[in-house]
């Protein structure tokens, strides 16, 4: 009991540092910290919440939520408050949780993206269940940032908008052979063929995505235009007019950034164009990020690591490729994630019937809110890079 009081006292002491936004904690007491908007309430269900958060920092806080030890009336707003006050609360991740952080980092370090490791890491997330992903994605089954051209755009329309932007930026024509690094569930390949009549080779390490896209190709009579391969980007062969890759680079890890762009250079024909969409971490503090292990890396995407724009530029500069254009679209990701989260929660019973437990549901709600708050507050971004081959564009 005395030790429990120690954890509670220390966590409440940290919350006293909140200056932006308001958090009310209800337990066997009710206390309010901070002032102004946004305003949220935390309902403590178990005293383990205090211990897990003090000893685990932000990772412990998330795990405590997944375990049902607390809940809140607005998870995204709560995480927003923590972001707004990160400079005041950073000590929580230093004073008590350093052992947890070291262990998490060691666990992340062990998830190396070797040829075998990459496949295992990808399948651990993307092979959860096609049906589970269907509960929150739109009909295109696109699992990346949409682009909302107007307030009335649906999630489906936003994804079509995004795909069309990539097709247009790559200047894909009927005569072109396209390489897509990271197939997803086939939406971009299908749309590119429908719009232009091009040929697409698309690759994935996810067996479930491979089967899904294989069936889609057959059902849509696209065998003459789309070829899907279950292969690592390091082992792809051929020569391509255009290369596209949407939010795949995050899965490969820092050590493979150089090989990734080197492979693009070798696979792309002279005068070719590549369009890369990537979730990015700010250049500031990127060195610190590289040494840590965050919620996404520990609980959602094993082996992942966000690039920074500067890190990608450094890798591109080691090749003969030329960075032609960068567009930031991260604000659209906050909206995308908000809609995914709503869809997910509208289908909770169906998700449970698939065999996913409450821990998984809580963890994914935290994942959606964590990312939505991150994009909404510019702690992470999403960019589209247009990259030209080393020779003058034809």
Last residue of a domain, one of 88, 108, 128: 108
Domain shared by 39 and 13, yes or no: yes
Residue span of the structural domain in which 120 resides: 115-388
Judge contact between 118 and 232, C-beta under 8 A. Answer: yes
Average pLDDT for residues 186-214, to the nearest whole number?
97
Domain shared by 41 and 158, yes or no: no
Three-state DSSP at 323 gives strand
Last residue of a domain, one of 108, 129, 164: 108
Domain shared by 54 and 149, yes or no: no
Domain shared by 171 and 257, yes or no: yes
Domain shared by 120 and 99, yes or no: no
Q: What is the CATH number of the domain that holds 149?
A: 3.40.50.150
Domain shared by 81 and 162, yes or no: no
pLDDT tens digits, 89-112:
765 554 554 445 544 444 445 555
Above 80 in pLDDT, residue 314? Answer: yes
Judge contact between 246 and 367, C-beta under 8 A. Answer: no
393 found inside a domain:
no
Overall size of the chain counted in residues: 394
Q: What is the pTM of this model?
A: 0.92
Express as a percent the part of the chain with pLDDT over 70. Answer: 88
Number of domains making up the chain: 2
User: Residue 263: is it exposed, middle or buried by C-beta count within 10 angstroms (0-12/13-18/19+)?
Assistant: buried
Average pLDDT for residues 336-350, to the nearest whole number?
99
Strands 177-181 and 240-246: parallel
Q: What is the CATH number of the domain that holds 61?
A: 3.30.1050
Question: Lowest-pLDDT range, 238-242, 368-372, 389-393?
Answer: 389-393
394 found inside a domain:
no
DSSP assignment of 153-182 equals --HHHHHHHHHHHHHHHHT--TT-EEEEES
Domain shared by 239 and 351, yes or no: yes
Report pLDDT for 392: 42
33 found inside a domain:
yes
Domain shared by 286 and 373, yes or no: yes
195 found inside a domain:
yes
Domain shared by 290 and 185, yes or no: yes
The residues, ordered by sequence, that sit 6+ positions from 150 with a Cβ below 8 Å of its Cβ are none
Domain shared by 24 and 42, yes or no: yes
Helix residue ranges, H only, 171-269:
187-196, 207-219, 257-267
Domain shared by 47 and 172, yes or no: no
Domain shared by 37 and 132, yes or no: no
């Amino acid at each position: 009991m005395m030790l429990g009081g120690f954890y509670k006292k220390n966590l409440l002491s940290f919350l006293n540092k909140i200056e932006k936004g308001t958090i009310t904690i209800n337990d066997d007491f009710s206390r309010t910290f901070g002032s102004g908007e946004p305003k949220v309430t935390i309902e403590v269900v178990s005293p383990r919440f205090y211990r897990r958060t003090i000893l685990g920092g932000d990772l412990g806080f998330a795990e405590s939520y997944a375990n049902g030890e607390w809940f809140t009336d607005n998870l995204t707003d709560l995480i927003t408050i923590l972001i707004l006050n990160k400079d005041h609360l950073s000590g929580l991740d230093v004073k008590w949780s350093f052992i947890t952080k070291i262990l998490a980092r060691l666990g992340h370090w062990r998830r190396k993206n070797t040829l075998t490791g990459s496949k295992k890491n990808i399948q651990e997330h993307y092979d959860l269940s096609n049906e589970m992903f269907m509960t929150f994605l739109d009909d295109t089954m696109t699992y990346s940032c949409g682009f909302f051209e107007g307030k009335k755009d649906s999630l489906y329309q936003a994804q079509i908008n995004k795909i069309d932007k990539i097709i247009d930026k790559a200047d894909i024509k009927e005569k072109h052979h396209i390489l897509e690094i990271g197939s997803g569930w086939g939406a971009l390949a299908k749309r590119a063929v429908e719009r232009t009549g091009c040929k697409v080779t698309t690759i994935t390490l996810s067996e479930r995505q491979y089967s899904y896209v294989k069936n889609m190709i057959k059902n849509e009579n696209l065998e003459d235009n789309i070829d899907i391969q279950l292969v690592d980007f390091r082992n792809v062969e051929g020569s391509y007019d255009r290369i596209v890759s949407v939010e795949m680079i995050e899965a490969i890890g820092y050590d493979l950034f150089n090989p990734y762009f080197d492979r693009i250079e070798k696979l792309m024909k002279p005068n070719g164009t590549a369009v890369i969409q990537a979730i990015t971490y700010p250049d500031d503090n990127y060195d610190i990020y590289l040494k840590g292990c965050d919620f996404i890396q520990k609980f959602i995407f094993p082996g992942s690591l966000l690039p920074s724009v500067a890190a990608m530029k450094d890798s591109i500069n080691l090749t003969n490729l030329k960075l032609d254009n960068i567009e930031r679209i991260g604000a659209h990701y906050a909206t995308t994630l908000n809609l995914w989260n709503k869809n997910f929660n509208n289908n909770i019973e169906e998700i449970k019937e698939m065999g996913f437990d409450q821990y998984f549901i809580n963890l994914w709600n935290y994942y959606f809110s964590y990312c939505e708050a991150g994009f909404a507050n510019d702690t992470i971004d999403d960019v589209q890079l247009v990259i030209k081959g080393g020779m003058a564009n034809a």
